[in-house]
């Protein structure tokens, strides 16, 4: 199939484009949000082709994967009047947990009979009001980075984008107490100035933004992965950390309670429990490595790439038929 989708979520798309299709990714001058083109910091295969809106008017498109509400109108305009769901088969992929009026949040594509709504976690499907729209859950898949864990640095890795702006959603306010238990290395976009914002010494809360492969190598050197997120969809960085063989310390919220089994780390709704777990992993590197190995096996079993691509192939075939 020729599948049209926008480059919205780099980590998720990296897994999706490992499938057997041709992936048409819009490209605009300046590479803004509606035309980022191919990823620059992720490894994508040659089957991902950049296309301009002009090229899309005449392009053969077998299916559209929508990921943001405005893409319905955008796709119809760029496809020369062909409407997703009516003239071209379509799915709407929802990456996020609902925001506002929870648990009564009505999904923008609720009550539709012209497309399939795909959620990335069972938690998300449960909490969105999907109306009568046909829904599916296709859990995340990860391109396995390998068991790279060394844990040689007695620090905790945190991966989050825009922690200052997103605040309580990403548990940014919980970082000072966590930093008291284990010095933090916070990786992600727009993390600059985080230590000053939190009133922490720079050594207790260092920040960097790295390409994916460098990020994985840096994460794997840290003793543990900390995931203080209160309310978001299941973070791919958490699953990547588990694939790397890292023990995880995470808030027991949203889908994390399904993703991290006993023996792979510590889950709790009590920040003080997470801080104590971080202290223990720093003091007991062998225990950290053992829990990390169990985390990797759990992640490979549930969030492996083959299962992910097989699930998508089933849904795409059903939608197109």
- Cβ atoms < 10 Å from Cβ of 43: 12
Alpha carbon 187 to its chain centroid, in Å, reads: 14
Cα-to-chain-centroid distance, residue 291: 22
Cβ atoms of 27 and 19 closer than 8 Å: no
Residue 86 falls inside a structural domain: yes
How far is Cα 100 from Cα 93, in angstroms, rounded to an integer? 19
Q: So what's the pLDDT on residue 43? A: 87
CA 105/CA 90 separation, integer angstroms: 23
Render pLDDT for 273-309 as a digit per residue (tens, 0 to 9): 999 999 999 999 999 999 999 999 999 999 999 999 9
CA–CA distances in Å: residue 150 to residues 26, 143, 179, 289, 290: 39, 20, 21, 8, 11
Q: Is residue 32 part of a domain?
A: yes
User: Does a structural domain hold residue 146?
Assistant: no
User: Within this chain, do residues 76 and 181 fall inside the same structural domain, yes or no?
Assistant: no
Which pLDDT does position 86 carry in this prediction? 96
Residue 147 forms part of a structural domain: no
The CATH number of the domain holding residue 258 is 3.40.50.2000
Write out pLDDT tens, residues 28-81.
999 999 999 999 888 899 999 999 999 999 999 999 999 999 999 999 999 999
Residues 159 and 134 in one domain: no
0.95 exceeded by pTM: no
The residues near 44 (Cβ < 8 Å, ≥ 6 apart) are 13, 14, 17, 38
Q: Please tell me the predicted confidence (pLDDT) of residue 52.
A: 97
Q: Does the bond joining 169 to the residue before it have cis omega, within 30 degrees of 0?
A: no
**213-224: per-residue pLDDT in tens?**
899 999 999 999
Q: What is the pLDDT of residues 88-109, one digit of tens each?
A: 999 999 999 999 899 999 999 9
Q: Are residues 157 and 298 in the same domain?
A: yes
How many structural domains comprise the chain? Answer: 2
Kindly state whether residue 148 falls inside one of the protein's structural domains: no
Q: What is the mean pLDDT of the chain?
A: 96
> Which structural domain, as residue segments, surrounds residue 21?
2-141+305-320
Assigned domain for 65 exists? yes
> Are residue 158 and residue 271 in the same domain, yes or no?
yes
Determine the pLDDT at residue 40.
87
Both 133 and 158 in a single domain? no
pLDDT-based confidence at residue 150 (cuts at 50, 70, 90):
very high
User: Within this chain, do residues 173 and 105 fall inside the same structural domain, yes or no?
Assistant: no
Q: How confident is the model at residue 151, as a pLDDT?
A: 98
Same domain? For 98 and 174 the reply is no
Expressed in angstroms, the distance from the first to the final Cα of the chain is: 12
Residue 53: predicted pLDDT? 96
**Residues 192-235 pLDDT 10s:** 999 999 999 999 999 999 988 899 999 999 999 999 999 989 99
| The predicted structure's pLDDT at residue 212 | 84
């Amino acid at each position: 199939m020729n599948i049209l989708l926008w480059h919205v979520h780099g980590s998720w798309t990296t897994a999706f484009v490992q499938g057997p299709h041709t992936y048409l990714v819009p490209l605009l001058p300046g590479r803004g949000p509606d035309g980022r083109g191919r990823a620059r910091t992720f490894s994508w295969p040659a089957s991902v082709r950049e296309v301009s809106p002009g090229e899309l008017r005449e392009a053969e498109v077998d299916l559209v994967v929508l990921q943001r509400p405005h893409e319905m109108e955008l796709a119809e305009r760029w496809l020369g009047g062909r409407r997703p769901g009516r003239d071209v088969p379509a799915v709407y992929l929802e990456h996020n947990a609902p925001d506002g009026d929870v648990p009564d949040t009505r999904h923008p594509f609720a009550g539709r009979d012209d497309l399939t709504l795909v959620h990335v976690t069972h938690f998300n499907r449960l909490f969105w009001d999907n109306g009568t729209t046909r829904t599916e859950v296709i859990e995340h898949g990860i391109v396995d980075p390998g068991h790279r864990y060394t844990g040689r640095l007695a620090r905790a890795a945190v991966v989050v984008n825009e922690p200052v702006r997103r605040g309580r959603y990403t548990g940014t306010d919980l970082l000072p107490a966590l930093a008291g238990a284990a010095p933090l290395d916070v990786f992600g976009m727009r993390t600059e100035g985080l230590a000053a914002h939190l009133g922490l010494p720079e050594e207790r809360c260092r920040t960097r933004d790295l390409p994916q492969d460098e990020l994985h190598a840096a994460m794997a050197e840290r003793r543990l992965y900390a995931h203080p997120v209160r309310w978001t969809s299941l973070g791919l960085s958490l699953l990547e950390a588990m694939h790397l063989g890292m023990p995880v310390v995470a808030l027991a919220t949203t889908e994390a309670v399904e993703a991290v089994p006993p023996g792979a780390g510590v889950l709790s709704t009590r920040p003080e429990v997470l801080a104590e777990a971080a202290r223990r992993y720093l003091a007991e590197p062998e225990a950290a490595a053992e829990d990390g190995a169990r985390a990797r096996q759990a992640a490979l079993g549930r969030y492996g790439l083959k299962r992910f691509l097989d699930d998508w192939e089933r849904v795409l075939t059903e939608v197109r038929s």
